[in-house]
Amino acid sequence: MDLTWSPEEEAFRRAAREWLAAHVPSPPLPSGDTRAGFAAHLAWERELFAARWSVVSWPEEYGGRGASLWEWLIFEEEYHRAGAPARVTQNGVFLLAPTLFRFGTAEQRARLLPRIAAAEDLWAQGWSEPEAGSDLAALRSRAVRADGGWRLTGHKTWTTRGAFCTHLFGLFRTGPQDARHRALTYFLVPLDAPGVTVRGFQRLDGDEGFAEVFLDDVFVPDADVLGEVGQGWTVAMATTGSERGLTLRSPGRFLHTAERLLELAREVGSGAHRDRVAQAWIDAQAYQWFTLEQVTAIAGGHEVGAEASLAKLFWSELDVRLHETAAELLGPEAELAGPWSKGFLFSLAGPIYAGTNEIQRNIVAERLLGLPRR
């Protein structure tokens, strides 16, 4: 693993750093999980696109710069170092788009990717259902064959920013219930289609970013089936690999949080939690090295599979440790509203979303360690 940046990569870093220094909003934007905050973030996302920084690793024909995976990591480091806003388009950019590149038809890629890059189509994830959260294969929402397409009926919940999005991607059952994951198909659904009802609701921190989506005989044409009919599980696993692995949670985010934690420790001036601060910072560096190793393997032709579960376990628990340590440093002040308290509440969701950590440990045990299923 050669970690020497080339002159071209160093130039890419300088260009990204300079642009971000000149354009990152100040003061920081309000939460993107509120309606007003979402609108402000959307304006930022479109400014990113206009400067061709929204999807740097995508081909130029879709709005990207054709940057390498290494350059994407460099951009992510600089993005978080600059304190740039969280990406409210992350479901489309980091989850759906990699799946479209792999399983989408040429027509789907040409139609959908430029609109994702430009923050024109805003995608919500339609995985969870009231009786099928982490057990995705148990979902009950159905799709029935119709002339020229499918009729979708069901109920999705916990859709992040679903109340503000324009489209939903998700799995629907196209075969018998007892076939579980072998009878699912991946659909792309416009949320303004007749028969769709979106109802927002509040999260633990009071933001209104969650929604549940009801589908009542919603027509979706064949052109909006992603991958083969009945092969939705395979397509979805590619999406969850992106969600659990490096594309959604690049190390730049945690390196930046670890640096903020160091600054906080210096400001507070207490040595009481010195070891924990040091360990949290070391863990963030370790996640970066793990990611660099993964990128090296991908560049060599390796396909990330169950290893994504290792990454998910690590970054989700690291995020909790970083914020717990900050809360201990702040003492009673940690109860006050602010970036650390907001980040702490959000970090608590990390071991749950993108597949609970209990599920990830099962995957690691069975697929990576070869342990028997109980």
| 72: CATH | 1.10.540.10
Of 184, 210, 233, which marks where a domain is finished?
233
pLDDT value at residue 250: 81
Q: Are residues 14 and 73 in the same domain?
A: yes
Continuous H helices in the chain: 7-23, 35-50, 69-81, 90, 97-103, 106-117, 232-244, 251-268, 274-299, 307-330, 339-347, 357-363
Of 87, 107, 136, which marks where a domain is finished?
87
Q: Are residues 219 and 256 in the same domain?
A: no
Domains identified in the chain, total number:
3
Q: Which residues contact 62 (CB under 8 A, 6 or more apart)?
A: 55, 109, 113, 114, 117
pLDDT value at residue 220: 98
Please say if the pLDDT value at position 218 is more than 80: yes
Q: Is residue 112 part of a domain?
A: no
Q: Is residue 338 part of a domain?
A: yes
Q: Are residues 152 and 219 in the same domain?
A: yes
CA angle 29, 42, 339 (to 5 degrees): 25
DSSP state of 104: -
Number of other CB atoms surrounding residue 174 within 10 Å: 21
pLDDT value at residue 300: 79
Please say if the pLDDT value at position 372 is more than 70: yes
Of 174, 209, 233, which marks where a domain is finished?
233
| 250: CATH | 1.20.140.10
The pTM for the full model equals 0.86
Q: Are residues 254 and 313 in the same domain?
A: yes
Please say if the pLDDT value at position 178 is more than 80: no
Mean pLDDT in residue range 188-193: 97
For residue 66, name the pLDDT band (cuts at 50, 70, 90): very high
Which of 9, 243, 259, 303 does the annotation list as catalytic?
243
Mean of all residue pLDDT scores within the chain: 90
Q: Is residue 27 part of a domain?
A: yes
Cα–Cα distance measured from residue 78 to residue 262, given in angstroms and rounded to the nearest whole number: 18
Whole domain around residue 203: which residue ranges?
A: 123-233
Contact 141, 216 (CB under 8 A): no
Q: Is residue 292 part of a domain?
A: yes
Contact 124, 162 (CB under 8 A): yes
Q: Are residues 140 and 213 in the same domain?
A: yes
pLDDT value at residue 246: 61
Q: Look up residue 315 and give its two tokens.
A: 């970054």
Q: Are residues 75 and 17 in the same domain?
A: yes
Q: Are residues 252 and 331 in the same domain?
A: yes
Q: Is residue 196 part of a domain?
A: yes
Q: Is residue 93 part of a domain?
A: no
Q: Give the residues across from 200 on adjacent strands.
A: 211
Q: Are residues 273 and 224 in the same domain?
A: no
Q: Is residue 164 part of a domain?
A: yes
Please say if the pLDDT value at position 29 is more than 90: yes
pLDDT value at residue 58: 94
Q: Is residue 111 part of a domain?
A: no
Q: Are residues 23 and 68 in the same domain?
A: yes
| 229: CATH | 2.40.110.10
Does the annotation mark 243 as catalytic?
yes
Q: Are residues 249 and 229 in the same domain?
A: no
Of the candidate ranges 100-114, 194-208, 254-268, 278-292, the one whose mean pLDDT is the lowest: 194-208
Q: Are residues 127 and 214 in the same domain?
A: yes
For residue 52, name the pLDDT band (cuts at 50, 70, 90): very high
Q: Are residues 356 and 251 in the same domain?
A: yes
Cα–Cα distance measured from residue 151 to residue 189, given in angstroms and rounded to the nearest whole number: 11
